[in-house]
Amino acid sequence: MSSMDIERLKMSGAGRAMAVLTSGGDAQGMNAAVRAVTRMGIYVGAKVYLIHEGYQGLVDGGDNIKLAHWHSVTNIIQLGGTVIGSARCKAFPTREGRLAAAYNLVKKGITNLCVCGGDGSLTGANIFRSEWTGLLDELVKKGRITDEVAKQHSHLNIVGLVGSIDNDFCGTDMTIGADSALHRIMEIIDAIMTTAQSHQRTFVLEVMGRHCGYLALVSALASGADWVFIPECPPPEGWEDNMCARLEGSRNKGSRLNIIIVAEGAIDSNGKPISSTYIKDLVVKRLGLDTRVTVLGHVQRGGTPSAFDRILSSKLGMEAVIALMEASPDTPACVIGLSGNHVVRLPLMECVELTKMVQMAMNEKRFDEAVQLRGGSFQNNWNIYKLLSIQKPAQTQSNFSVAILNVGAPAGGMNAAVRSAVRVAVAHGHKVYAVHDGFLGLANGDIFEMKWHDVAGWTGQGGSLLGTKRTLPNKNIEKIVENLGKFSISALLVVGGFEGYEGLLQLYEARGQYEELCIPMCIIPATISNNVPGTDFSLGADTAVNAAMAGCDKIKQSASGTKRRVFVVETMGGYCGYLATSTGIAVGADAAYIYEEPFNIHDLKTNVEHLAEKMKKDIQRGLVLRNEKCHENYTTDFIHRLYSAEGKGVFDCRVNVLGHLQQGGAPSPFDRNFGTKLGVKAIQWISEKLTESFRQAGRVFSNSPDTACVLGINRKVVSFIPVTELKAVTDFEHRMPIVQWWFNLRPMLKMLAKYQTSFCEYIPGEIEHVTRRSISIDAGY
C-alpha cells in the first residue's frame, strides 16, 4: 500500500466506528483475524469494538460489546479458537433478535461490521444488512431511537471473513482454519501410522467437514492413504469388493498397515451414509485384519493455528477494514477471500448461493457437478489421489529413462515430490533412476533403479531420502556426461534449491559441448529459503515457517512470569528474507530485519525505543527477528548488545539462533501435497517433451531453452520457465530473485506490530484486555 493510500484510508477511518465478531463453529486463525481487524481499524483511526459471543452478544448488547484498545488483542495470534467467543444464536435468525442487534449497534454508533464465520453466519450478516433500513424505521416507530439517529446510521456496511475448518466455501481457495485442521489431522495420522505399523493394523479414520470432503481428500493425499470416502465422489456400486481387494493387494506386497480415511458426511451412490464402523466391520469380516476406528472429532478445531492460517487471517483482516472504509451505500456486502496468494473481494451473497448449490447438487445426486462446483483445485486433488494410490500397469514401456535427484539442503516435501514423480514415471512406462547425493552422485555413478513400491510411505518423511548435496555440476561435468550416456538417461528431474537451479543452468550452458545434455531437464524448487527464481513458493518453505513459528511461540512463552524481556531470534534464509518476514507476521514480531529492506542505526534506534515504550506499559515481551545475512555489521550479537544496553532498567534481552530446526522434521500438509502435485506435473511435462523430441528427431534431442525449466507456481498458474530466461531476473551474488512478491507483506508486519495511530482515546472501564477463556471440552474430546 502506498503512503497516499494510507493517508486516504486514515481520512475515511477517522472517527468512524466498527465492530468485529466471530460466529458459528470456531476455527484456528480467528484470533489472528480479530487482531488484524482491530489493529488495522485503530491504525486508520476508527473506533473498534469487539463483540463477544458472536451474534448472541450482538443481540444481548451491554458488556458484550466492548471498545478495544491496541493492547486488547496482544498475545492472541498464537491461540486456537476465538478469544472473543463464538456461539450459535437462536435469536439472530428472528426479526426480534436482529432488531435488538440493530439497536445495540446504533447505540454505540457502529455502522461497520466484520463477521468472521461460516456460510450460516455470513448469510445471517447479509440478511441483517438488507433489513437494516427497515429495522431502524421500526426502532424509530417504537420510539427507541430518534429520526435523526436513524439518519446518521442509515447504512450498515458488512464484510465477511470465512472462518471454517471445512474449506467448504465457494470463492476462496482457503477458509480460515482449514490449513490448521489439516495440521492436526496429519499429526494424528503420523502418530497412528507408527502404532499401525507395529501391530499390522488397519485404521479407519473419520475426519470432520460436514458435507465437504476437502479435509478427508487432502489428508488422504498427504498421507498416501489406501482409500478415501468423500461425499462429493461416492464410490461406485461394488466398492466393498474393490476396497478389500486393494487392501489385500497392498498387504501382499509387504505393507504392514492400511489407512482408510472417511469424511464424516461420506455417502454411497444412493446417498446412504457410509459409517466408519460399517467399514471396520467389513474389513474384519472379509479380510480378518486387525482393524480400529479413530474418530478425530474436535481435536481438528483445536490447537495453535498454522503459520498459513495466521498469515492468511492477518491479510484478510486488514483487507476487511479497507473494504469497510471504502464501502459506499451501494456496495453490496462482500467477503474477503484468497486466490493463490492474493486477497480478493467477492460478492458475499453470490458465494453463499454457490456454496448452497454444491449441497443441492449432492442432494440430487449430481455428483460430477458437485465436484466441479468445488473448483479446479478440488478436482485436481481427487484426480491426483486416484492416480497415485494404486499402481496401474503401464500400457506400454516407453524406452525412456528418467533420473531424479535432490540438490541443496533438505526441505520438507522433497520426498513427496520424488515419490509422486517415481510413480507417475513408472505409470508412463519409463525406467526411473534415483541418484543419491545430487550432482556429485550423478558424477560418481551413485544411481539406482526405483520401482513403484520403493517410495511407499515417503510422503510424510522429512529430510531427503535420496541424499542431497550442494555440489554444483561444473566441476564434474565430464563424469556426469559419461554417466548420462552409460545409463541412457533421457531426462533429468532435480528437486532442490538455488544450487539445483544454478546447476541446471550450467548443464544447459554445456549443451553445446555435450549431446548427452540435450535432454529435457526440470527443477522442482525445494528450499526452506524460498529463493529460487521463477516461482512464488518453493517446497519446504511452509514447513520451515511453521517450524520457525513454533520455535518463536515457545521462546515467547518462556518469558511469561519472568521480567520484561526482548528476544532477538535469528532465522535462516541466506540473504532471502522470506522466512524471517513470514515468521514475523505469524508470531506477531515487533520487527524482522532482512537484507532486502536495508536498515541503518536510526531504524534500530527507533525500534528499540518503541520496545522500551511498549514495555513501560503492560506488555511483557518483545520479539525481534533477524535474518542471518541481513547486515554485514549489524550482526545478531550487535543487535543483542544494543538492545541490552538501551533496554537497561526496562527490559533484558536474550538471543536465540533457530538453526536447523527450521528444516522442520515432518513436512507440513501443504508441502506434502505441493510436492506430490509438482512431482506429477514435472513428469507429465518431461513425458511430453520426450515424446515431442522423439517425434521430431526420431531420438531424444532437446536443445531449445524451453527444455531446461524451473517448474513454478506463479499467481496460481503452474508454469515451466526456461532457466536461461530466469538468468536476467536473478541476483546470483545474493542467491535470490531480483523481484520478490512477498515484499508487499512487509508493511503488514509493521502495521500490525506497532501502535502509531491517531486514535488512542482511552476510556477507563470500557477497555478490556482479552484473556484466554477456559476452553469447554466437548464430550469425547
Interface residue list for ligand ADP (CB under 6 A): 23-25, 55, 88-89, 92-93, 117-121, 123-124, 127, 164, 173-174, 179, 308, 340-341, 377, 380, 542, 670, 673, 677, 716
Specify the residue, 130 or 620, whose C-beta has the smaller distance to ligand ADP. 130
Best CA proximity match to 110, nearest among 13, 18, 14, 42: 18
Q: Of 26, 119, 166, 168, which is the active-site residue? A: 166
Specify the residue, 25 or 473, whose C-beta has the smaller distance to ligand ADP. 25
Smallest gap from residue 55 Cβ to ligand ADP (A): 4
Dist. CA 737–CA 763, nearest whole Å? 49
The half-sphere exposure of 652 on its side-chain side, counting CA atoms within 13 A, is 4
Dist. CA 212–CA 214, nearest whole Å? 6
Neighbours of 474 (CB within 10 A): 15
Q: Which residue is nearest to ligand ADP (CB)?
A: 120
Dist. CA 72–CA 66, nearest whole Å? 10
Specify the residue, 170 or 521, whose C-beta has the smaller distance to ligand ADP. 170
**Can you tell me whether residue 643 is helix, strand or coil?**
helix
Smallest gap from residue 738 Cβ to ligand ADP (A): 22
Q: Are 86 and 56 in contact (CB under 8 A)?
A: no
For residue 450, what is its C-alpha cell? 526405483
Specify the residue, 337 or 473, whose C-beta has the smaller distance to ligand ADP. 337
Smallest gap from residue 117 Cβ to ligand ADP (A): 4
Provide the CA 315 distance to its chain's centre, in angstroms.
Answer: 12
Dist. CA 327–CA 331, nearest whole Å? 6
Specify the residue, 61 or 340, whose C-beta has the smaller distance to ligand ADP. 340
Provide the CA 536 distance to its chain's centre, in angstroms.
Answer: 13
Active site residue 590: no
Smallest gap from residue 203 Cβ to ligand ADP (A): 25
Dist. CA 443–CA 472, nearest whole Å? 11
Give DSSP secondary structure letters for 251-320: HHTT---EEEEEETT-B-TTS-B--HHHHHHHHHHHH---EEEEE-GGGGG-SPPPHHHHHHHHHHHHHH
CA distances from 345 to 289, 317, 332 (A): 50, 12, 11
In this structure, the chain runs to a length of: 781
Q: Residue 526 carries which DSSP code?
A: B
Specify the residue, 70 or 578, whose C-beta has the smaller distance to ligand ADP. 578
Specify the residue, 363 or 696, whose C-beta has the smaller distance to ligand ADP. 363
Give DSSP secondary structure letters for 564-606: -EEEEEEE--TT--HHHHHHHHHHT-SEEE-SSS---HHHHHH
Smallest gap from residue 742 Cβ to ligand ADP (A): 11
For residue 282, what is its C-alpha cell? 467389513
Specify the residue, 452 or 670, whose C-beta has the smaller distance to ligand ADP. 670
Smallest gap from residue 489 Cβ to ligand ADP (A): 29
Specify the residue, 301 or 677, whose C-beta has the smaller distance to ligand ADP. 677
Smallest gap from residue 430 Cβ to ligand ADP (A): 24
Beta strands in 329-484 (DSSP E): 334-339, 342-347, 401-407, 431-435, 447-450, 468-469
Best CA proximity match to 108, nearest among 76, 56, 68, 141: 68
Smallest gap from residue 249 Cβ to ligand ADP (A): 28
Smallest gap from residue 761 Cβ to ligand ADP (A): 32
Best CA proximity match to 78, nearest among 613, 621, 579: 621
> What distance, in Å, lies between the first and last C-alpha atoms of the chain?
44
Supply the residues annotated as catalytic: 166
